[in-house]
Amino acid sequence: MRPLTLRRLLWTCGALSAVLVATVVVALKLGAVTISVTDLLTDLARVAIGRSGQLSSEYRLIIFDLRLPRILVGILVGAALSVAGAGYQALLRNPLADPYILGVSSGAALGTIVAMIAAPQFPLFAPLGAFLGATGTITAVYFLGLREGQLDSSTLLLGGIVTASFLTAIIIFLMTTLAGRELRGMVFWLMGDLSTPLQASLRWIFVPGLLIGVGAIYTTAADLNLMLTGEREAMHLGVDVTRVKLVVYISASLLTALAVSASGAIAYVGLLVPHMIRFLFGSDYRLLIPASALGGAIAIVLADTLARTVVAPTELPVGAMTALAGAPVFIYLLRRRLR
């Protein structure tokens, strides 16, 4: 493993940030109405210097009211899911751990739906319900994965899949109480939807919550590196394993809850992105966590762009695009682990 230096960390994050900016420009350009890159960059420069009044109302609607808000939501959701997946994989020492596979996304979705049905006039209850659902689910899955006092990876994975199926059944039951129009929107949301921008009240929760969750997990990065060798060995090296577990579990559940409450259950992002980052840059969590955040943002923006353009003007759920890429990776990792 190459030693991590501050220069390498900054160069890696800078390169990924440049890729993210390029991806955002492409996402703004493509759609039912195609816009040239030259015009796009010129108009973005006008907005930056305070001359947005020179833009036409139609152009402003397409770029700044429709495309840019969903891109920003996609960046936040992708970063949250990727860092959550990296945290779960480190603690559970299971490369197949992912918020979607473990059922945490289903638990967060159930909590969101219950909050929306019980108190639709209080939008702040949705992320709270999602957090309670996510933390309850990961706690249940963790205890289901225990075998003779030790965490068994295969049992844990099976427990997550069964728990996700059970929670999905409850979600379907609750959705039968919704009206036809609400039901169609809820089904699309459950498959991953970025078309609905965050409400102003939720932005003040989502952005600080994302920074707190990612920052809290990053503070445990050095300890997570030591825990890769095993909990007992990490304890002998001075790691407070209980504290690290508590911080990562709560923070990863918070990140999953924020992502699901904003965009629904988007599959396999927390599995695919951390593995790609490990393959490219190594498994040092001091680099893996910020790189996964940027990589997840890139992945979701690309997936949403494809979802908007593949069968335009019809839109596909973002979760369908990520599942097409993530499911083969999951099968490959599962077969390799079994071998």
pLDDT in tens, 269-327: 999 999 999 989 988 999 999 999 999 999 999 999 998 888 777 788 898 889 888 88
Only one residue has tokens 């230096």, namely 5
Mean pLDDT to the nearest integer, 217-229: 92
Residue 311 lies in a domain: yes
Is residue 1 in some structural domain? no
217 belongs to a structural domain:
yes
pLDDT band at 40 (very low <50, low <70, confident <90, very high): confident
**Confidence (pLDDT) at 32:** 75
The Cα angle at residue 215 between residues 268 and 75, in degrees rounded to 5: 45
Tell me the CATH number at 190: 1.10.3470.10
> What pLDDT is attached to residue 57?
72
Q: What is the model's pLDDT at position 13?
A: 96
Angle of helix 6-29 versus helix 285-309 axis, rounded to 10: 10
pLDDT digits (tens, 9 = 90+) for 161-214: 899 999 999 998 888 777 666 666 777 788 888 877 777 667 788 889 999 999
Structural domain includes residue 194: yes
Q: Is residue 34 part of a domain?
A: yes
pLDDT for residue 1: 55
Specify the pLDDT at position 219: 95
Q: Looking at the domain assignment, is residue 184 inside a domain?
A: yes
Share of the chain above pLDDT 70, in %: 94
Q: Which pTM value belongs to this model?
A: 0.91
Q: Name the residue range of residue 142's domain.
A: 6-338
Mean pLDDT within 209-237: 91
Is the alpha carbon torsion for 71, 73, 79, 81 positive or negative?
A: negative
- Residues facing residue 151 across a β-bridge: 146
**Which range has the top average pLDDT, 92-96, 136-140, 145-149?**
136-140
Q: In this predicted model, what pLDDT tens digit does every residue of 279-293 receive, in sequence order?
A: 899 889 999 999 999
Q: What is the structure's pLDDT at 107?
A: 95
Half-sphere exposure of 23 (CA within 13 A, CB side): 23
Domain count, the chain: 1
190 belongs to a structural domain:
yes
pLDDT of res. 2? 64
Q: Over pLDDT 90: what percentage of the chain?
A: 43
Task: Quote the pLDDT of residue 258.
Answer: 93
Rounded Cα distance between 47 and 44, Å, is: 5
d(CA 217, CA 202): 22
Give the per-residue pLDDT at 330.
Answer: 78
- On whether residue 118 sits in a domain, the answer given is yes
Mean pLDDT of the chain: 86
